[in-house]
Amino acid sequence: MSAGRSTSAVGSTSAGRGVLEGVAPQPGVAKPDPILVLDGVRRRFGGLTAVDVEHLEVQRGMITALIGPNGAGKTTLFNLLTGFDQADAGSWSFDGSDLAGLPTHQVARRGLLRTFQLTKALSRLSVVENMKLGATGQRGEGFLSALISPLWRDQEREIEQRARALLRRFQLEHLAEDFAGTLSGGQRKLLEMARALMAEPAMVLLDEPMAGVNPALAQSLLGHVRTLPGDGTSVLFVEHDMDVVHDISDWVVVMAEGRVIAEGPPEAVGANPAVIDAYLGTHHDAPADEGEERARLEDAEARMEAEATSTSTPTRTAGDDR
Amino acid sequence: MDWGLIFENGLKAGVGDFAAVFALAAIGLNVHFGYTGLLNFGQVGFMAVGAYGIAVAVTYLGTSLWLGLLVGLAASVVLALLLGLPTLRLRADYLAIVTIAASEIVRLMVRSVSLREYTGGSSGLTQFADDFYAINPFAPGRYGISPITFTERQTWLLLVAWLAVAIAAAMVFVLMRSPWGRVLKSIREDEDAARSLGKNVYWYKMQSLLFGGVLGSIAGFVLAISTQSVQPDTFSPDLTFFAYVVLILGGTARVLGPVVGAMIFWMLLSATDNLLRQAVRQEYIPTAIMDGVQVGQVRFMLVGLALMALMAYRPQGIFGDRREIELDVRR
């Protein structure tokens, strides 16, 4: 059964790549059918510019990976897009409507859902209740209608069936009645993704879906991510594991120091010098020639010496005071 | 020692007006704290605006008691909005600080000299609930199962008060099994998760604050009508903490937790009070250690000890689920 699913998923993946065949692999390039378009999105924390994206388009019906070294601004970008943080400047549209400045719950209602790097399982709710919370447009979520169960009982039954079907797909069905707080880290990742899918989103932003998941579970999680575009859900995900990125993504966007420095199909991005530079920091750590290395050493020694004198001076002054 | 009297008074207190008052107040707190995770340390403020709502409406505005009930409800809604609008967007601790301060503001306001004309100042208001006792269907006499009997006035009040408790508990029962209750519980667990799933967390917290606050004001009604008086210093912050004790004793996030908690709390208070008084009177406890005046304080110490024992051996309360307590929620 799972084999059949992954074959169809692979099919959708290759179809996705076909669409972007003619798209040039350069930052900010236009896509044929973007679901998410960002323009001039900027976020500063004091003196640090965490996010500074000139232009970025994310293609509909595909899996796009967002990679970059630690501190590149990937999670901050997710926070901005989903209303968890407010951008200092810029606009972005999702599925044709402007999302900038909307509160989180309204972003979610328009079909853009996210998961978290550190999972947010609702510990003292059962797994199936966690799932049912994800469904949108619930009639029983109003105070007065909640008091009259015939108004929402049928819908609740339908939601419950959908929740259990999804749990089966994610191999969590046997845990349906357990408190979500008893799940392992990997199971929580699965639950959180399944819960987001209860809303039938047009797009999900997955923040490190594989982090902390054991390899066996990661494989099944990957399988689920692959099926999403086929079910009408576009995916943008943050990931550090390059094998995973190569394995499932149709397109890769690379961020460093808040900017988009490269994009392209996964094979091409790995060879991009700007990407290697961002990850390995070529011109910082690996000197180009012997002369430069010597100069760097001298510079470092001089700095260490300066530091030594500057730290010893205040100690002496403190001693004099006493 | 008259054990019969201790037992009798204990049972009477367990079904008495104060037990009903605290059951209602704690049901409201359960909605706030138990289900939504809102730290409301000012439940007594809602009780006060409810009680003063009817008292001021009847004595100052000259309305009927029934219109006074509407005034009290409206006052609690206004208080909830005042508390919630600025604080519910912030972290949970801000609500805690604001609510405890607001409940003191309410008390000091109704106590103030400049408002004496309306609220009666520090001596409060009395005799405003005659409308309620005028429609008492019980003929004069004593009602109940001997020796636990009440006068016709008490019986009428207790009937209505426990009916209110039953309705409140039934509402909570239905609501917390509905999708609405699911959203509240998800906010308690992690409001960012609820938000990311498209729930308007702010609005749900406000609804929770309103609903629990209205229940608090109904507790205030029962208190005011039962004693036919309102007095500002009745509504001191201890009442809020008694309500928390009741809630934790019974078990948070359980429909009957606050009801049974209130009954047991007042039974315990009455029993320890009677026991100590008799022991002092019959000189089992020498006056050098404790005299009759100190009984009031010592009984709270004993109840406090009992609560510590409960927390040590049954932290989930009487109805709680131990598995819930043992979950590491922070993970």
CB contact under 8 Å between B199 and A133, yes or no, is: yes
Q: Which of A23, A21, A54 is nearest to A37 (CA)?
A: A54
Phi first, then psi, for residue B188 (nearest 5°) are -60, -40
A140 touches chain B (CB under 8 A): yes
Measured between CB atoms, which of B177, B180, B196 is closest to A104? B196
Q: Which of A84, A81, A94, A193 is nearest to B195 (CA)?
A: A84
pLDDT digits (tens, 9 = 90+) for B103-117: 999 999 999 999 999
CB contact under 8 Å between A122 and B185, yes or no, is: yes
Q: Can you tell me the distance from the alpha carbon of B82 to that of B310, in angstroms, rounded to the nearest whole number?
A: 36
Number of domains in chain A: 3
Could you count the other beta carbons within 10 Å of the beta carbon of residue B263?
A: 22
pLDDT (0 to 100) of residue B83: 94
pLDDT (0 to 100) of residue A71: 87
Q: Can you tell me the distance from the alpha carbon of A133 to that of A198, in angstroms, rounded to the nearest whole number?
A: 8
Interface contacts (A, B; CB < 8 Å): 111
B2 touches chain A (CB under 8 A): no
Measured between CB atoms, which of A82, A132, A143 is closest to B182? A132
Beta-carbon-side half-sphere exposure of residue A246 (alpha carbons within 13 Å):
8
A316 touches chain B (CB under 8 A): no
Give me the helices (H) in A20-123, please: 74-81, 104-109
Contacts of A82 in chain B (CB under 8 A): 196
Find the residue in A nearest to B195 (Cα): A105
Six-digit token string for B176: 């917390």
SS3 B126: strand
A137 touches chain B (CB under 8 A): no
B252 touches chain A (CB under 8 A): no
Q: Are residues A58 and A116 in the same domain?
A: yes
Q: Are residues A113 and A224 in the same domain?
A: yes
B174 touches chain A (CB under 8 A): yes
| Parallel/antiparallel/unpaired status of strands A251-256 and A259-264 | antiparallel
Six-digit token string for B84: 């919630």
Six-digit token string for B217: 């004001």
Ordered by where they begin, the domains of chain B are 3-326 (1.10.3470)
What CATH number does residue A83 fall under?
Answer: 3.40.50.300
Q: Are residues A235 and A152 in the same domain?
A: no
pLDDT in tens, chain B (331 residues): 789 999 999 999 999 999 999 999 999 999 999 999 999 999 999 999 999 999 999 999 999 999 999 999 999 999 999 999 999 988 888 999 999 999 999 999 999 999 999 999 999 999 999 999 999 999 999 999 888 999 999 999 999 999 999 999 999 999 999 999 999 999 999 999 999 999 999 999 999 999 999 999 999 999 999 999 999 999 999 999 999 999 999 999 999 999 999 999 999 999 999 999 999 988 888 888 888 888 888 888 888 888 888 888 888 888 888 887 777 554 4
Q: Are residues A164 and A24 in the same domain?
A: no
Please name the amino acid found at residue A78.
Answer: F
pLDDT (0 to 100) of residue A315: 42
Q: Are residues A267 and A231 in the same domain?
A: yes
Query: Where a domain ends, among A160, A182, A204?
Result: A182
pLDDT in tens, chain A (322 residues): 333 333 333 444 445 567 787 788 888 889 999 999 999 999 999 989 999 999 999 999 999 999 998 889 999 999 999 999 999 999 999 998 999 889 999 999 999 999 998 889 999 999 999 999 999 999 999 999 999 999 999 999 999 999 999 999 888 999 999 999 999 888 999 999 999 999 999 999 999 988 878 888 888 888 889 999 999 999 999 998 888 898 899 999 999 999 999 999 998 887 888 888 887 765 555 555 667 777 777 887 887 777 777 655 444 444 444 3
Q: Are residues A152 and A212 in the same domain?
A: no
Q: Can you tell me the distance from the alpha carbon of B254 to that of B266, in angstroms, rounded to the nearest whole number?
A: 19
Measured between CB atoms, which of B180, B181, B197 is closest to A195? B197
B208 touches chain A (CB under 8 A): no
Could you count the other beta carbons within 10 Å of the beta carbon of residue B281?
A: 12
Q: Are residues A76 and A211 in the same domain?
A: yes
Six-digit token string for B22: 């605290």
Q: Are residues A110 and A226 in the same domain?
A: yes
Q: Are residues A91 and A106 in the same domain?
A: yes
Query: Where a domain ends, among A182, A206, A226?
Result: A182
Measured between CB atoms, which of B171, B198, B201 is closest to A199? B198
CA dihedral A85, A88, A91, A94 (to 10 degrees): -10
Contacts of B197 in chain A (CB under 8 A): 108, 113, 133-134, 195-196, 199
Contacts of B323 in chain A (CB under 8 A): 179
CB contact under 8 Å between A143 and B180, yes or no, is: yes
Interface test with A, best of B36, B197, B199 (most A CBs within 10 A): B197
pLDDT (0 to 100) of residue A322: 39
Beta-carbon-side half-sphere exposure of residue A136 (alpha carbons within 13 Å):
21
Q: What is the DSSP letter of A73?
A: S
pLDDT digits (tens, 9 = 90+) for B79-108: 999 999 999 988 888 999 999 999 999 999
Q: Are residues A153 and A249 in the same domain?
A: no
**DSSP of B137-162:** -SPSSEEEETTEEEEHHHHHHHHHHH
What's chain B's Rg over C-alpha atoms?
Answer: 21
Domain span holding position A19: 2-121+183-283
Q: Are residues A151 and A71 in the same domain?
A: no
> Does the CA dihedral A51-A57-A63-A64 come out positive or negative?
negative
- Is residue A203 within 8 Å of A97, Cβ to Cβ? no
Query: Where a domain ends, among A253, A268, A283?
Result: A283
Q: Are residues A302 and A190 in the same domain?
A: no
